[in-house]
Structure 1
Amino acid sequence: MTMLYRLVAGAILVSATLAGAAPAADIELGPRPAFLIDKMAEGALKDELLACDGKPVSTTLFSIGHRGAPLQFPEHTRESYMAAAKMGAGIIECDVTFTKDKELVCRHAQNDLHTTTNILATDLAQKCTKGFTPAAGGKASAECRASDITLSEFKTLNGKMDAANSQAETVEDYINGTAEWRTDLYAAAGGTVLTHRESIALIASLGGKFTPELKSPSVEMPYDGFSQADYAQKMIDEYKDAGIPASDVWPQSFNLDDVLYWIENEPEFGAQAVYLDGRYSEDGFDFRKPETFKPSMQQLADQGVNYIAPPIWMLLTLTDGKMVPSPYALEAKKAGLNIIAWSFERSGPLNTGGGWYYQSVGDVINNDGQMYEVLDVLARQVGIVGMFSDWPATVSYYASCTGLK
C-alpha cells in the first residue's frame, strides 16, 4: 500500500487549523512526509505512519522551526518563519546577534552576512570586516558582520540562501553557491530580514512560541560598553516588553554562563533556558563515556539547568546494528534533563551515511526513508521533547501521527 493524499494541482496537501492563528491559516505539509515514508523499509513504523494519511495535523511544540524553514527559504527571514508556522512548527527559532548600534537582529552568526544576505552586492560591502577576495587559485572569501553596520543599514539587506562559492572569481558567483539539494526558488525575490523585536511580533501573530539563541559575538566583549550580561538581559527584556510570558520562551545558548545568568537573574525564563551542548569539540569529551562529561549531567541539573540540546548523533549509538540511545542520552535522562535535538533535514540526501548529524549511526544509514527511523528512536527511546528541523513538516507529521504535543 502506498501513501495516499488529496491531489491538488499535482501537490500532496494535508491541512488542519493552526492552533492559535487565524482560522484561514491551515497547516500544509506538502509532499515531503509522503516521499520519506514511501522510501521506508516495510515494517510496523511505516504501517503506523501510513495509517495517519488524511487525519488532522495539529501544530505541535515538538516541531521546532530551525531558523524557520531554511531547507528552501532564506533563513531567519519573514518568509522562512511563516513557512515554518504553515508546516506546524509550534516553536520557531530566532538566532540573536547585534548590530553596530547594539540592536538585536535575527542572524545565525554575527559574521554571516556575506553568506546569508546580499550585502556584498550593495554599497554596504565597503563596511565589511573583510571584503570579497576572489579565489585566484585559492579559496574565495569575505567576512561581513552585523556589527559592521547599523540597524537601519541592516534593514536594507535581502536575505538569501546561506551559501557561498569558494571557487568564485566574482562577487556574483560567490553569493550564488546554493547546494544542489536546496533551492533558490523562494529566495529569488530576496527574503525579508528581521530584528529580534520584529520576529517576536511575527511569531506571536502566527500563534507560535519562541526559542531565541544568544549567539557568540564575533567582536570582543564588552563591545562599546555592552557586556555579555547586558546582551543576555537585552534579549529577555524584548520578550518582557512585548508582553510574552516566560512559559512561551525557551532561551538558548552554547555558553553555559548565559544559561546560568538567566537562571539566576530571570528565573522564570531561566526555568526553560536551554543549554546547547557543544562539548563534542572539546578535547577529551566522548559522548559514549559519561566520565568525560564536565560538568556532569547531574551537576548541570544541580545548577538549575532543565533543558539540554545536543546534535542528533550524540543521542544515538549502534548495538548489534540497531540504533539505540547513547550513554550521553541515558545520563541526561537519569539526571532528569529535558532533551531537545538538532537538526533534522539539514544533511541533504542520506544515501551516503547522512554526514555530520548522523555520524554515530552512519554505518546503517543509506537512504532518506531512514529519517523517520531515526526520529522514532529519538522520540520513543531517547524521549526527546522537541526536534529542530530545517523543514518542520517532516517532524510535524510524525508528531501528529504519534500523539506528541
Structure 2
Amino acid sequence: MQLKRVVVTGLGALTPVGSTVPDYWDGLENGVSGAAKITRFDASRFKTQFACELKDFNPEDYFDRKEARKLDPFAQYAIASTQEAVNDLGVSLSELNTDRIGVVWGTGIGGLKTFLDEVTAFANGDGTPRFNPFFIPKMILDIASGHISMRYGLRGPNYATTSACASSNNAIIDSFYLIRMGKADMMVTGGSEAIINEVGIGGFNAMHALSTRNDSPETASRPFDLDRDGFVAGEGAGTLILEDLEHAKARGAKIYAEVMGGGMSADAHHITAPHPEGRGALNVMKMALEDAGMTVDDIDYINVHGTSTPVGDPQEIKAIVDLFGERAFNINISSTKSMTGHLLGAAGAVEAIASIMAIQRGIIPPTINHFTDDPAFDPRLNLTFNKAQKREVRAALSNTFGFGGHNTSVIFKKYNE
C-alpha cells in the first residue's frame, strides 16, 4: 500500500495569549505572558492564586444561551477553535465527502467543571439524587469530538484520545495515520482543556505541581530558569485540519505545512515523574524521526514540553542532547508554555500550531521569564530566551509528555511539492 502524504490546511486557536491564530501568534512572537490572578473563583485560600485564563471568551459568540448550558467549557473551547479552523479551509465542509472526514480530539480531564458543579449541588442538597440529565453527556471526554462531528455532519472516524498532557499530540498522530493509510481524506483534530476551577487548582496544588509565585504571576512560568518552581495552569483549545495532499491540491487548498511523522513511547517509570535519564523522551523523538524518514540534521526548531518544573525540564534537555549530539547546539529550542501556561490535554495542539507558524513565518517564539542560568543546561544550547529570533525553519519537532509516562513527538516540515 502506498502511503498518503498529509498536510495541514486549517488552523484554529483559543489561548490565554490570543483567541485566534493571528492573535495567538502575535502574543507568542512578542513574548506576552497570559498569567494573572484567577478570576473564575475566589482563590485566596489556595496555595496558587493565579493561572493563564482565557481573556475574552464569550460562549454566546458561538452558541445560543440554551446550547451553551448543555456544554462543558472544554467542549465550548473545542467547538470555538474548530470554527476558526473550518473557516480557514477556504471551502465549506458540506461541499466535500463528509463520509471521508473524521474527528479525533484530545483532552486530559474533560468536563471537570461539570463534575464539580453536579457533585457540589448533590452534596449541598437534601440527599435526593437530583442530577441534571446533561451531567454525563457534558462531562465525558469524547463528547467534544461528538459535538464537532454533529455540527458539521462529519461521518468519518470519530473518537477521543486521553494520555494526560500528551492527549492532543496523540490525537494529531492518530489523525495523521488515518489519512496516511487511506482511511480518511481529512481529519479535524486537536485538543481542549478547562481545569481552572477549585478542584483543578486544588488537585494540582496537592501534588506540589503548580508554581506558587503569587507575587509575580506573569513571570511564574519560567522553563529552564534556575528558580523555576512548577507549571502554571492554562486553558483553551487548538484545532488542526489535516488533509490528504492530493485531496488538498485538487481543491486548491492553502497548505501550512506537511506532517512528516510521529512518535509515541512510555517511560514505564513513575506516575508523574519522567525517567531520570530521559529515556522515554529520547525514544519518542527517535521514533518520530524514523517515522518521518528524517535525521537530526533536518530539524531546525524543537518546541519542547518544557513545563517549568524542577524535575521535568532537565530530563527533556538531556534527551535532546543525547539524541541530537552536536546538532543540538545548532537548533533553536523554546517552551511556549512560558507564555500560555500549561494547557494540559490541549498543549500538544496549541504548540503544534506554534511550530507550524514558526515554519511559516521564519521566527522562533521565545522562552520568556529567564532570569538566572541553571548550570544543569549546557550554555551552548540556544533556548531562545526572552526574545523571538529570526530563522528559516525547514522542519520543527513538537514534544508533549503526560502523567503516566506518556510521550509523544510530531514533526512538521515546510511544504514542498
Q: Scaled by the length of structure 2, what TM-score is found?
A: 0.31
Which is bigger in relative contact order (C-alpha 8 A, separation at least 6)? 2
